């Protein structure tokens, strides 16, 4: 969840040493969105992005329900894994495998525009 810090003035009664108090609350749906303009540079390429994704999920300790291995892998999938692999310069292919490694139960390619 994205959060922002909001400052508000205190009444004279509430003021002590501090004239402002900060609180943290979730962003509303009216918060302006950040628009990214292309081209965005990835100096180390897609391999670095995928390595970051895999390291993130391995660091969280996400394990395959079928074994003790990592849930997210970057190579050939085994039962109970999710394969995250490059599918070109601006796309990533995500495949999820259940019992069978011949037919993925989830197979999607995500493209950056």
Decide if 37 is inside a domain.
no
CA distance 20 to 9: 5
What secondary structure letter does DSSP report for 41? P
Provide the domain count of the chain: 1
**Domain limits at 72?**
45-111
For residue range 46-97, list pLDDT tens digits in order: 888 888 888 888 889 889 888 888 899 988 888 999 999 988 888 889 999 9
Decide if 90 is inside a domain.
yes
pTM score of the predicted model: 0.58
Centre a 10 Å sphere on the Cβ of residue 73 and count the other Cβ atoms it contains.
20
For residue range 4-48, list pLDDT tens digits in order: 554 455 566 555 555 444 445 555 555 555 555 555 556 677 888
């Amino acid at each position: 969840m994205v959060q922002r810090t909001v400052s508000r003035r205190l009444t004279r009664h509430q003021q002590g040493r501090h004239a402002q108090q900060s609180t943290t609350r979730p962003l509303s749906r009216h918060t302006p969105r950040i628009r990214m303009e292309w081209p965005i540079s990835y100096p180390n390429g897609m391999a670095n992005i995928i390595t970051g994704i895999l390291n993130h999920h391995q660091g969280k300790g996400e394990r395959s329900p079928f074994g003790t291995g990592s849930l997210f892998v970057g190579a050939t999938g085994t039962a109970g894994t999710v394969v995250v692999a490059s599918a070109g310069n601006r796309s990533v292919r995500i495949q999820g495998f259940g019992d069978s490694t011949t037919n993925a139960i989830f197979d999607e390619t995500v493209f950056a525009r």
